Structure 1
Amino acid sequence: MTVQSVTVLGAGSWGTTFAKVLADAGRDVTMWARRPEVAAEIREEHTNNGYLPGVVLPGRVTATDDAALALDGAQAVVLAVPSQSLRANLTAWRSLLPREAILVSLAKGVELGTLKRMSEVIGEIAGVRSDDVVVVSGPNLAKEIARQQPAAAVFACADHDKAVAVQQASFNSYFRPYTNTDVVGCELGGACKNVIALSCGMAAGLGFGANTMATLITRGLAETARLGSKLGADPLTFAGLAGVGDLVATCASPLSRNRTFGELLGRGETVAMAQQAVGGQVAEGVMSCQSIRELARGVGVDMPITDAMFRVCHEGMNPARVGAELLGRQQKHEWS
């Protein structure tokens, strides 16, 4: 199974970066951008300065705002739109998807309302088995990868041949992809880390240091693994790139929108003020803390950090107060 022609649907920072990764691996990439002026800039100037200022895109990358044109002849289709808008976008594209194309998901989240993972949403709308969707996860801060700083990722799919095909299509001198068959674990790791990153940002905004950060990362990983185990994930996945790898990068880096958003909340700003400060975009963790909380409650899993982030983001609770409540919870064994 060989992939040469790839379509990337979405021209944000990660979609554009992944298009660059594919082109630098020798693939022919067509991007779809919602705004015609963004498509024209990518096609004619080989830049996308609104999302990746100063980055020059390879000549193998072109772009259009016509989804039908973008999808024509694609051997793999990369879905690079935010998790909460994936369903609406994919519904509009469904009839245009090439029958044999491998579907690849870059989105990280749990859908509000349905509580479905992104591969499940794709499977439902596209009429394929959700396990046949290749899920990309890992410590993948777009701006660092776009600057060709060394990074790794994990491509998860129950159909290992499909994961390998996308792995081979994206392997280059600075980007090292691994494969996995645990779609559930990789998706939950990718979704939950955004919520934990909010908490780490809030801790930084409150003036706390490395001990607090390490505690939140470690306990955040523990509650993510509890949920994953309940839903059938492989516990080893959370020790890998889609688990601790993605968690550390997202919680620690100033390039992480979720960490930055949380830091603004920790400094006393409202969700609306933080949203304005980061360019009008809501961090994925703000929405995911609600859907992940509901998912966890539905299967009887305790996720105290996720619950705390929900109360701050959606009920207006003061971050300092919620932090004190987390510290004052009933004492217990570490692994219980």
Structure 2
Amino acid sequence: MANITILGSGGFGIGLAVMLHKHGHHITVWSKFQKELDDIRKNGEQVQKLPGVVIPPEIGLSASLECIRGSDLVLFGIPSSFVRSVAREASPYITSDMVVVNTGKGLEEGSMKLLSEVLTEEIPQAAIVVLTGPSHAEEVGRCISTAVVAASKSAAAAAYVQETLSNQCFRIYENDDIVGCELGGALKNIIALCAGICDGLGYGDNTKAALMTRGIHEIARLGVAMGARAATFSGLAGIGDLIVTCTSMHSRNRRAGILIGEGVKPEDAVKQVGTVEGYFCCHVAYKLAQQMGVDMPITEQLYHVLFEGSDVRDALGKLMSRPSRHENEECSYLRDMMN
């Protein structure tokens, strides 16, 4: 059993804490907001983000990063926009024998870097592992069977995370394609926002199926251009995460998209739902695709809707009226998948 510190007391951090505590690990959850921790202890649950999931009193709660000392694993459950600042503050307490695990799914605004790259820059002394895949906090916290991927440049670190965190309700597969796994987790939020918009507009299953299928194509195009393996996007970190995020009401990205499709302004929809990683990721991914010369038509149209005021029906019309082509016309990455 391991000593595990989870940085972040949001839904996924708490869900992991409860599930891992149930399977014998010693868990401490950190938040910079003492009031949030006080409310959790008082109510016995994270009322706002994970209602109904009981948090045992044995799980430690701390507002001091000193709690990291003596940990075997340090898990980041931090929104992408705050990963660098928290990592910088946490780094002095993290030693080379600890393994750092990132569970966030996004890209850093400005630098356009993967969150694993951000963590490597701020915590160079420790191995970095990405834990990603179809894993809603609402189900992880209730120990509903879940399968995810542990990806790292360090095979030993990925294997340690797999061996240490796997249990009867949480199955972990290893993967050495950290770029592909992380991009799959980040970019599927963009497609999930679009899926929600289609739901809000009242469109049907045909539309969503087309959106998801073409969405994974453009995610893979950017991924392969950045050095990922195409096969990764047919796995848990790719199509698996895309399916769960586009189809579930647990998904904040889908819920925000529904509001936008119903006529709510994008910025207001984000405020109503809370953390919507796809909103911020779309801005970064659009710029990244332009910089790398990668065609991402769904991402492009969502960017125009979110940040330039385009009408959602016009955006869909532009996607549907693009020049006709063979389905596998540009799919060099499909050849890579078959090799």
The 1-side partners of 2:33 and 2:76 are apart by 16
Q: Does 1:18 align with 2:13?
A: no
The 2-side partners of 1:209 and 1:97 are apart by 49
* Partner of residue 327, structure 2: 334
Instruction: Write the mapping of 1:168-187 to structure 2, written as runs, cut at 5 A.
Output: 168-187=163-182
**Paired residues of 1:27 and 1:60 also in contact (CA < 8 A):** no
Percent identity at matched positions? Answer: 38
Q: Does 1:30 align with 2:25?
A: no
* Partner of residue 234, structure 2: 239
Q: Does 1:224 align with 2:219?
A: yes
The Cα RMSD (Å) is 1.5
**Paired residues of 2:76 and 2:100 also in contact (CA < 8 A):** yes
> 1:275 deviation in Å?
2.5
> 1:46 deviation in Å?
4.1
> 1:59 deviation in Å?
5.0
The one-letter code matched in structure 1 to 2:37 is: A
Give the direction of change, closer, same or farther, for the CA distance of 1:23–1:282 in structure 2 (3 Å limit).
closer
Q: Cα deviation per residue 1:150-203 (whole Å; 9 max; x = unaligned)?
A: 111111112122112112222222111111111000000001000000110011
- For the residue of structure 2 that corresponds to 1:154, the secondary structure is strand
Q: Does 1:309 align with 2:314?
A: no
Q: Does 1:162 align with 2:157?
A: yes
The one-letter code matched in structure 2 to 1:303 is: M
* Partner of residue 118, structure 1: 115
The 2-side partners of 1:235 and 1:103 are apart by 26
Instruction: Write the mapping of 1:141-220 to structure 2, written as runs, cut at 5 A.
Output: 141-220=136-215
Instruction: Write the mapping of 1:274-313 to structure 2, written as runs, cut at 5 A.
Output: 274-278=269-273, 281-313=274-306
- For the residue of structure 1 that corresponds to 2:227, the secondary structure is coil
Q: 1:107 aligns with which of 95, 100, 104?
A: 104
Please give the TM-score of this superposition, normalised by the length of structure 1. Answer: 0.94
The 2-side partners of 1:13 and 1:126 are apart by 24
* Partner of residue 80, structure 1: 77
The 2-side partners of 1:33 and 1:254 are apart by 26
The 2-side partners of 1:100 and 1:168 are apart by 16
For structure 2, the residue ranges without an aligned partner over 5 or more in a row are: 331-339
Please give the TM-score of this superposition, normalised by the length of structure 2. Answer: 0.93
Q: Cα deviation per residue 1:90-139 (whole Å; 9 max; x = unaligned)?
A: 1222222233210100111111110100000001111248xx41101110
* Partner of residue 254, structure 2: 259
Give the direction of change, closer, same or farther, for the CA distance of 1:207–1:44 in structure 2 (3 Å limit).
closer
- For the residue of structure 2 that corresponds to 1:133, the secondary structure is strand
The one-letter code matched in structure 1 to 2:88 is: T
**Paired residues of 1:10 and 1:33 also in contact (CA < 8 A):** yes
* Higher mean C-alpha deviation, range 232-241 or range 50-59: 50-59
* Higher mean C-alpha deviation, range 264-273 or range 204-213: 264-273
**Paired residues of 1:289 and 1:310 also in contact (CA < 8 A):** yes
> 1:58 deviation in Å?
3.9
> 1:38 deviation in Å?
2.5
The 2-side partners of 1:321 and 1:144 are apart by 36
The 2-side partners of 1:187 and 1:276 are apart by 25
- For the residue of structure 1 that corresponds to 2:231, the secondary structure is helix
The 1-side partners of 2:267 and 2:227 are apart by 36
For structure 1, the residue ranges without an aligned partner over 5 or more in a row are: none
The 2-side partners of 1:233 and 1:192 are apart by 13
